[in-house]
Structure 1
C-alpha cells in the first residue's frame, strides 16, 4: 500500500532520526564550547577550518621555514619531526605514524617476531584493549593477558607471578581509563625490572607521556630509557592536528617503517600534521608542568566546592591529579549533567565540564577534566563560582 512502511523501514527511519539527533546534539556541544569565553582547556576540534588554517600558518612560521616544498612519503618536515622527537625522548630514532593505534600494532607485531612470543601482557583498561576494536588479536594475531584488573598499573609482583610466559609488557603511562593514574618512580622501575626478569621487552603506551615528568621527577629520556620502545601522540596534549610517533632503536624503526607501509600508513603528504606537531613541541610541551601544577589547584577547589554544596556523594580521582587531567564522579544521570554543562556554556559562556558518561554502579556518572593554558587564569574562587552555577542547573532531588 502507498504510504505504508514495513517494520524494517520503520526501524531504519527511527535509527536515522536518532543518528540525526545525535549529530545535532554534538554540533550544539561544539558550538557552545567554541563560543565560551571561560574554559579550562580548548575544546577538541574547536573553531572553523579557516580559523585553524590561519592559526597553523601563523604559528607554523615561528617553528619552521614555510618556503620549502611539502613532504613526500615521509621526507622533509616529517623526517625533521622524527629527528626532533627522537632527540626529546633520548632514543636512536623515531617513526611518524598517522595514528597511535597503528603505531602500537606495529610495535607489538615487531616485538612478537623478535621475541618469538605472541603473548602481550597489558592492563584490561589500556587503549589496545578498550579502544581499538580488538586489533591486537584481529590484525596482529597476538594474545593479551592481564597481570591485574585493579584500576592502576600492574605491580612488579603481579608481573613476576603472571602464570604464563609473555614476550612483551605494555604499560600505559598514564592509565587514562583508570583516571590518568601513574605509579611512583620506584614502582615503575620495579615493574620494568620484573618484566626483564621474565625475559620480556617493555613497550610504553605514552600517548600522554609528555606530561608525566612532574609526577616522576624525571626527564623524558630517563622515563623512556626504562623501556625498549615508546609511542607518543602529537595531538592529545600538544594540540597537534593528528599523528603519533614510535621511538626506539634504529633497527626497530627500520622494521617499523616497513610494517607502516604494509598497514597503509605511508601517506603521500602529512605536512599539516607534522607542522602542527612541531608547534606543539615548541609551544605546549614546555608549559605542561604548569598545567599539571594548576590541575591540583582546580581539583582541590572542586573538592571543597562539592563538599560545601552538600552533594551527597562525589569523587575527584585521583584526589591529587598525577597529570593535568583527572576524573570527577557525581551521583546524577549523565544526560542531565551533560545538558547542565552545555547550558552553562551557552548561557554563561563558561565551560567547567563537558560530556558525562555512565560508569560504575547505576546512578553514577563520570567526566574528564583537562587543565591547559586557558585554565591557568582560573582562581579557586573562579572554580567555586562556576561549580555553583553548574550545580544550580541540575534537577532538584
Structure 2
C-alpha cells in the first residue's frame, strides 16, 4: 500500500508539474487519452468508417501503413510486443530447423517476459556476449554452437539504449549470415535510430529478415506492436497470433492512437534525439561534482539515456517527487537500484523537453541535488 500511495503521489506531482522533459504515462488520465484521440484522430483516419472486427478496417490500414514506412512487403498487428516476438522467433525456428536463438542476456525476452521464450516455445538461447553493449561480429562468428536466429535489440535498452555503429551492425548481420542464421530485429524503439545510423528506416530494416516495432514506445500510442517482413513470413505469424490469443474482437482505439503517433511523433523523433544530446551534456555538467555520478551514454544514441547516482533508489525517488511538488519541475519519474548504493533512472526527451536550454537543465539538476541528503 505504501508503494501504491507513493506511485499516486508521484503521478500527481508529474501531472501538475509545469515543466518536464517528457510527459510520463503516470501523468495521463483516461480523460486525457480520450481527449487526445478525439482531437487528433480525425487528421489520421476517417472516423466515419466502420470499426474493425477481428482485424480488417483500421487495423489492416495500420498494417499497410507500417509496411510502407518500414519498406517491407507486409506487416501484422499484434496486441503486445512479447507476443509478436514469440511468434517471430517460433516461425524462424521452424523455418531454420533450429530451436536456438542467439541474443543478448539483457534483451527483452531474457529480462521482461518471465522466460516465455523457453516455457511457451521450447526454444533455447545462447549469448554472444555478456558485456553491457550490442554483440560484435566477431562474437557472433565465435559462438561455439550453431544457432538458427540472431536477435538484435536496437537499441539495447537495459545497457543504456545503446546502438552499434552502422558499420558494426552490418558486420554483425553479415556474420550471422555466415553462420547460416536469419536475423530478427527487436526494434521496439527502432523508429528513432535513423539519426544515429544516418540511414532511413527502410535501409535499416532491409538488413534483417524480420523486425518488430512498438506503437507505444517512442510513438506514444496506447499499446500494440507490429511484425514486418516478407508477405509469406507475415502470413505465418498471423497464424501464431491467433494461436496465442492475439486476434482480438476490436482494437480500433489502440490502432487509431498508433496512426496518430505515426503522423505526429515519428517526424519529431530526430528533433527529440538532438535535444536529448543537449540535455545529457547539461546533466553531465550538473552532476560533475558528485562522485560516481554518470550519464550513459554521454552522447545519447536515441532520445533516451540513463543516469546513475550514488544514492539508494528511495532517497532519489523522494527527491524527484519533492522537486516536482515544490518547484513544478519534473526531471525524473522513477529510480531503481543498479548496484548496492547506486541507482539508475531513464531520461526520455520528447515534445515537452524541446524548449529546455543547457542552462535550464543545469539549474534543474542543481535544484534536485539540493534536495538530497
Band the TM-score falls in, shorter-chain normalisation: over 0.9
User: What TM-score does the superposition give when structure 1 sets the normalisation length?
Assistant: 0.93
Counterpart for residue 9 of structure 1? none
Superposed displacement of residue 349, structure 1: 1.1
**What SS does the corresponding residue of 1:61 show, helix, strand or coil?**
helix
1:121 aligns with 2:121: no
Counterpart for residue 360 of structure 2? 382
Counterpart for residue 350 of structure 1? 329
How far apart, CA to CA, are the structure 1 residues paired with 2:32 and 2:307?
32
CA RMSD, aligned part only? 0.7
Q: How does 1:203-282 map to 2 (within 5 A)?
A: 203-282=184-263
Deviations 1:137-165 (A, max 9, x none): 00000000000001111100100010000
User: What TM-score does the superposition give when structure 2 sets the normalisation length?
Assistant: 0.99
Superposed displacement of residue 28, structure 1: 1.2
**What SS does the corresponding residue of 1:124 show, helix, strand or coil?**
coil
Superposed displacement of residue 346, structure 1: 1.1
**What SS does the corresponding residue of 2:132 show, helix, strand or coil?**
coil
Larger radius of gyration: 1
The number of residues matched between the two structures is 373
Contact 2:305-2:346 within 8 A present in 1 as well: yes
The counterpart of 2:351, out of the listed 348, 373, 389, is 373
Q: For structure 1, list consecutive stretches of 5 or more residues without a partner in the other structure.
A: 1-19
* Structure 1 residues 45 and 76: alpha-carbon distance in aligned structure 2, compared to 1, 3 A threshold: farther
Counterpart for residue 54 of structure 2? 73
How far apart, CA to CA, are the structure 2 residues paired with 1:255 and 1:241?
26
Superposed displacement of residue 380, structure 1: 0.8
Superposed displacement of residue 25, structure 1: 1.3
The counterpart of 1:157, out of the listed 121, 138, 144, is 138
Deviations 1:313-352 (A, max 9, x none): 2111001100100011111111000100011111111111
How far apart, CA to CA, are the structure 2 residues paired with 1:241 and 1:393?
34
Q: How does 1:82-231 map to 2 (within 5 A)?
A: 82-231=63-212
Contact 2:215-2:224 within 8 A present in 1 as well: yes
**Farther-moved stretch of structure 1 (127-136 vs 37-46):** 37-46
Counterpart for residue 25 of structure 1? 6
Contact 2:14-2:26 within 8 A present in 1 as well: no
Deviations 1:356-381 (A, max 9, x none): 11113x11111100000010010011
How far apart, CA to CA, are the structure 2 residues paired with 1:45 and 1:336?
20
**What SS does the corresponding residue of 1:171 show, helix, strand or coil?**
strand
How far apart, CA to CA, are the structure 2 residues paired with 1:26 and 1:334?
14
**What SS does the corresponding residue of 1:231 show, helix, strand or coil?**
strand
Contact 2:15-2:26 within 8 A present in 1 as well: no
Superposed displacement of residue 23, structure 1: 1.3
How far apart, CA to CA, are the structure 1 residues paired with 2:284 and 2:234?
45
Superposed displacement of residue 45, structure 1: 4.6
**What SS does the corresponding residue of 1:147 show, helix, strand or coil?**
coil
Q: How does 1:308-387 map to 2 (within 5 A)?
A: 310-360=289-339, 362-387=340-365
Superposed displacement of residue 22, structure 1: 1.5
Superposed displacement of residue 47, structure 1: 2.6
Superposed displacement of residue 275, structure 1: 0.3
Superposed displacement of residue 54, structure 1: 1.5
Deviations 1:270-329 (A, max 9, x none): 00000000000000000000000010100001111112xx21221110011001000111
**Farther-moved stretch of structure 1 (24-33 vs 200-209):** 24-33
